[in-house]
């Protein structure tokens, strides 16, 4: 399945049906008077968060989304049929922007009842509505009110508890495949991961956390280098970062400098990202040269105030301790959010 996280669509609510101009003509009722019915209301447009969806692929080629129009009124004061509503199903975490003004219209993060987005146009009144004591045979009815239309941009920002960041080939895909049922592509060349991957990681008995494997960042990512800013937005909603550091010969440059470079790119993209809690994970310690460097690197990172783990996703070394600490830290952050009083 293709991962599509940004689309542009035209959305229109249904038009109201026109009112009917009609006069009752039946046997023994030669002058029955006006009996034109009202037009039906146009269908409304709703957004529905569907947890089964993880991409905006459904709208990749569906550029025009229109609710049904209301049917016109009929004689004998029969009301026209209301237009069927249109439900746009999107994944959790979808942002809806007005394409013309770039205004954020709604943030779809909660699963629940369909959200009314564009109400359908009201149906016009038939001529029976206009009969008065002085105008017993009105020959006019109202047209239906057109439904509102908007040009929208849908953007998906994945909702995950944990974000995995680091250089390409730092071991993010291997780690998430070891901790969850996610099966990302894994190979020994840069940019193997071309789309974000989500994995559900169990911890603390029956609790779970969602981990997002973000495609590797490089210097200049905040300015569009490499995969650029295309996937940086997916780390905005994570509560905690696991910053993976690879000290093997496969990674060029000094590990500490690479770590600082990634953080600098996150800061350039959005300064709030560097304010999120980070845990440092030294990967591939099953490699002898990495194990030798891990003690010295641990001291350097701990001197900067980071909690450091040395793990091997291949042998499983250190993974249990990592999951336990990350789960406890996540619980602590959630409790802090609940107990923090809202501003008055």
SS3 at position 45: strand
Helices (H), the chain: 172-179, 255-269, 288-303, 319-339
CB 211 within 8 A of CB 161: yes
CA 261-262-265 angle, to 5 degrees, is 90
Looking at domain 1-156, which CATH architecture does it have? Distorted Sandwich (2.70)
d(CA 175, CA 244): 9
Superfamily of domain 162-339: P-loop containing nucleotide triphosphate hydrolases (3.40.50.300)
d(CA 33, CA 13): 34
Residue 21 pLDDT > 90: yes
Q: What is the pLDDT of residues 286-339, one digit of tens each?
A: 888 888 888 889 999 999 999 999 988 888 899 999 999 998 988 888 787 665
CB crowding 276-285: b at 16 or more within 10 Å, else e: ebbbbbbbbb
By DSSP bridging, strand 197-203 and strand 207-213 are: antiparallel
Q: What is the pLDDT of residues 166-203, one digit of tens each?
A: 887 777 888 888 887 656 444 443 444 456 777 888 88
Confidence of residue 145 (pLDDT cuts 50, 70, 90): very high
Q: What is the pLDDT of residues 241-299, one digit of tens each?
A: 899 888 776 667 788 888 888 888 888 888 888 888 899 999 888 888 888 888 889 99
CB 90 within 8 A of CB 54: no
Residue 37 pLDDT > 80: yes
Prediction pTM value: 0.71
DSSP classification of residue 134: S
In terms of C-beta density within 10 A (0-12 exposed, 13-18 middle, 19 or more buried), how is residue 290 classed?
A: buried
Asked, colleague to colleague, whether 1-156 and 162-339 share their fold, the answer is no
- Ranges of each domain in the chain: 1-156, 162-339
d(CA 16, CA 81): 10
Q: What is the pLDDT of residues 58-108, one digit of tens each?
A: 898 888 999 999 999 999 999 999 999 999 999 888 999 999 999 999 999
Q: What is the rounded average pLDDT of the residues 149-165? A: 87
């Amino acid at each position: 399945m293709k991962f599509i996280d940004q689309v542009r669509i035209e959305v229109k609510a249904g038009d109201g049906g026109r009112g009917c101009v009609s006069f009752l003509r039946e046997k023994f009722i030669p002058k029955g008077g006006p009996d034109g019915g009202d037009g039906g209301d146009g269908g409304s447009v709703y957004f529905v968060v569907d947890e089964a969806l993880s991409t905006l692929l459904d709208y990749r080629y569906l550029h025009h989304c229109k609710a049904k129009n209301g049917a016109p009124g009929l004689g004998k004061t029969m009301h026209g049929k209301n237009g069927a509503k249109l439900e746009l199903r999107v994944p959790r975490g979808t942002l809806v922007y007005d394409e013309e003004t770039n205004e954020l219209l709604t943030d779809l993060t909660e699963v629940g009842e369909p959200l009314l987005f564009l109400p359908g146009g009201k149906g016009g009144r038939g001529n029976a509505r206009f009969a008065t004591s002085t105008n017993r045979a009105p020959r006019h009815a109202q047209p239906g009110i057109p439904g509102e239309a908007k040009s929208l941009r849908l953007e998906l920002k994945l909702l995950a508890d944990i974000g995995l960041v680091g250089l390409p080939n730092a071991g993010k895909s291997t780690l998430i495949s070891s901790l969850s049922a996610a099966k990302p592509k894994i190979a020994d060349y840069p940019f193997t991961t071309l789309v974000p991957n989500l994995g559900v990681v169990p911890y603390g008995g029956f609790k779970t956390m969602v981990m997002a494997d973000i495609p590797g960042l490089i210097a200049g990512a905040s300015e569009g280098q490499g995969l650029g800013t295309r996937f940086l937005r997916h780390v905005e909603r994570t509560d905690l970062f696991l910053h993976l550091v690879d000290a093997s010969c496969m990674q060029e440059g000094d590990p500490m400098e690479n770590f600082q470079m990634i953080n600098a790119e996150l800061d350039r993209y959005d300064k709030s990202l560097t304010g999120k809690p980070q845990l440092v994970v030294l990967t591939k310690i099953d490699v002898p040269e990495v194990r030798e460097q891990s003690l010295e690197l641990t001291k350097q990172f701990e001197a900067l105030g980071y909690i450091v783990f040395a793990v091997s996703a291949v042998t499983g070394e250190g993974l249990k301790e990592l999951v336990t600490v990350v789960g406890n830290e996540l619980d602590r952050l959630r409790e802090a959010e609940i107990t923090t009083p809202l501003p008055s």
